[in-house]
Homo-oligomer: A and B are copies of this chain.
Amino acid sequence: MAPKISIRGTNQPASPMRRLEPLFLQAKEVRKRIYQLNIGQPDIETPEEYLKVIKNLQEKVIKYGPSAGLPEYRKTLANYYRSYGINVDWEDIVVTTGGSEGIIFVLTAICDPEDEVIIPEPFYANYNGFANMANVKLVPVTSKPENGYALPPIEEIEKKVNSKTKAIIICNPGNPTGYAYSEEEIENLKDLCRKHSLFLVSDEVYREFVYEGKHNSILEKEGFEEYGIITDSLSKRFSLCGARLGCVVSKNKDIISSITKMAQARLCPPTIEQLAAIEVHKLGKDYYSKIREEYKLRRDTVMKHIEEIDGAFCKIPNGAFYMLVKLPIKDCINFATYMLKDFELDNETVLVAPGNGFYATQGLGMDEIRIAYILNKNDLDRAMVILKEGLKAYRKERGL
């Protein structure tokens, strides 16, 4: 008898962002163009400063680096955080292979199997995959489209706390919601964590993508040193998705010590990427401003089109480069599939991510889609026209 894989191996969820990939590949064969609004792969060029280091590489041997990352790179990161008033030392930082590895390390360091973590939903769907691998239970608290997916009332969150609860995890600004938490929301979360001895894990990879007002990090103010853990990544900030560089930041020595040992087991993050990443951090805040303006333009472009759709709703998001849009439909998977298989405008169509994949509560999000506004203004204009026409045709066909 053949051996069986594990229960968690069997239960490992597929990525909802990538679930339509087979249909997408088929459609690509026959369509002139498919505008991909389903994944967060920016079209912005990787900074020349990064590519220059790679191209001028002097090393003759691509060696192991230190498990926690090259000290010079960790020092660069500490300076970066301090420039935002996040007062950390380089020893408070462990470099990870992408933000993803950081989240796995953090879940493992704070939870034993069957422990629970509270998370506002809708949330970044891959947290489901990480939690399943680590046998951690994600407990959702639903945020609402009507108020732009703001933090649910703190009492609703507190109701979910029990003896198994180890942490609250947020993504700020949020993927897929685009919501940027206010200072008050962050302070409320901190108070709750202090009250119940919980870690607060904040995924802040979109820190620079806040369009009005400032980003509020959990580690900006003093007095939260034992509780706060930031996970981070260069992927979106510098268009470095394929470089696989992220980090975990915490003033809690036990967390950093434990994660450093996990990092030792897997030896090191990619070496030459770290050398290049040191350089790219010299670009400074002018670089972020320029990128931010570009994404703001893109956001406003998409919003303009959404406002023209009868029955569509999306409160204007203030961060990241995603928005969840409520549409006058009943089954977003069916609609996304229709757009790929059955609809075309001048032989072009659009790929969106079904909204339900970002909810843990069954049945929620069925009338929502996630749009990643990662194309330039012209392409977005065109993509949104196709989406509008497609929606019209879909509703007519389905009698909606």
The interface size of chain A toward B, counting residues with CB under 8 Å, comes to 85
CB-CB under 8 A from A166, the residues of chain B are: 3, 6
Interface of chain A, helix or strand or loop or mixed? loop
Give the Cβ gap from A25 to chain B, nearest Cβ, in Å: 11
What's the minimum C-beta distance from A59 to chain B, rounded to whole angstroms?
Answer: 8
Cβ of B9 and Cβ of A109 under 8 Å apart? yes
Q: For residue A158, give the distance in angstroms from its CB to the closest CB of chain B.
A: 16
B267 near A98: Cβ-Cβ < 8 Å: yes
Q: How many copies does the complex hold?
A: 2
The CA-CA distance from A65 to B129 in the complex, in Å, is: 18
Taking a contact as CB atoms under 8 Å apart, the answer to whether A9 and B39 are in contact is no
Per-residue contact bits, chain A 280-307, to B (CB 8 Å; 1 contact, 0 not): 0000000000000000000000000000
Residues of chain B with a CB closer than 8 A to A44's CB: 61
Partner of A5, one of B1, B57, B110: B110
CB A373 to nearest CB in B, in angstroms, measures: 16
> Which single residue of chain B is at the shortest CB-CB distance from A62?
B242
Interface membership of chain A positions 1-22, coded 1 if the CB is closer than 8 angstroms to chain B and 0 otherwise: 1111111111011110010000
- Contact yes or no, A242 B110, CB < 8 A: no
Select the stretch in A27-35, A80-88, A100-108, A375-383 that faces chain B.
A100-108
Residue A126 at the chain B interface, CB threshold 8 Å = yes
- Alpha-carbon gap, A197 to B133, bound state (A): 23
Does A159 make an interface contact (CB < 8 A)? no
The residue of chain B having its C-beta at the shortest distance from the C-beta of A265 within the complex is: B129
Cβ–Cβ contact A108 & B8, under 8 A: yes
Residues of chain B contacted by A240 (CB below 8 angstroms): 62
Question: Could you show 8 A-B contacts with beta carbons less than 8 Å apart?
Answer: A1-B197, A2-B197, A5-B110, A13-B265, A15-B265, A62-B241, A126-B266, A241-B268
